[in-house]
Structure formats: structure tokens, C-alpha cells
Amino acid sequence: GAGVSQSPSNKVTEKGKDVELRCDPISGHTALYWYRQSLGQGLEFLIYFQGNSAPDKSGLPSDRFSAERTGGSVSTLTIQRTQQEDSAVYLCASSFSRDGYTFGSGTRLTVV
């Protein structure tokens, strides 16, 4: 596609449920990033993929968070047993090289 697509754009879930957030990067972009942005805060790095492998998972906050990428394309971020502190906007970005990153519009997750 022309841009980075994230779905859903908004998600409300009950505490304790699992959620899956999807990122569809720009075709041909080899690198894919996930970030979390809490209300009024900066971007917190979660995980980075180069192709299908994740050289840097250092930002995942706990073992409830996991991510995968298949076919060097779509990525899914899964949060198990959601907690209220997981409420945030989750942003995805993709890039072909280090000099340019394109972001999606994000998924706003609300845990009630």
C-alpha cells in the first residue's frame, strides 16, 4: 500500500483479555518498529524487526507482550492479560533505510 496501515484504529478491551494489534508496512520496507505512546508522553520503543527477525526486543515491558512478523511484511503485537496501564497509543513504523521512517496512524488501546 501507499502508507503504513494499522488496525484497529481504536480498541476497547476488558482487563484480563488478550488483544492483537496489526501493522501492515509499506511494501518493500525491510525494517519495522513498534512504539507505545502514553497520553501526553513521548514514544517508548518496544521492538524492532529486520525482515522476520527481531534483533532488539529490549523495550517489551513484560512477558505479556509479544510480537511477530511473517513474510517480511505484516506484524502483529499481542498483549496478553491486559492491564489498565497498557492503555496507550501503539504506533508502528517501517523503513527501507536508516534515513526515512514512515509511521502509521496508530491504534488507541483502552483497557477498562
- Bridge partners (DSSP) of residue 72 are none
DSSP calls for 17-59: --EEEEEE--TT--EEEEEEE-TT--PEEEEEEETTEEEE-TT
Question: Total residues contacting another protein (rule CB under 8 A)?
Answer: 21
Residue 7 makes contact with another protein by CB under 8 A: no
- In the complex, what is the shortest distance from the CB of residue 87 to another protein, in angstroms, rounded to a whole number? 14
Euclidean distance between CA atoms 70 and 91, whole angstroms: 18
Binding flags for another protein, 70-89, as an x/- string (CB under 8 A):
-------------------x
The site for another protein (CB under 8 A) is made up of 33, 35, 37, 41-43, 45, 48, 50, 55-56, 89, 91, 93, 98-101, 103, 105-106
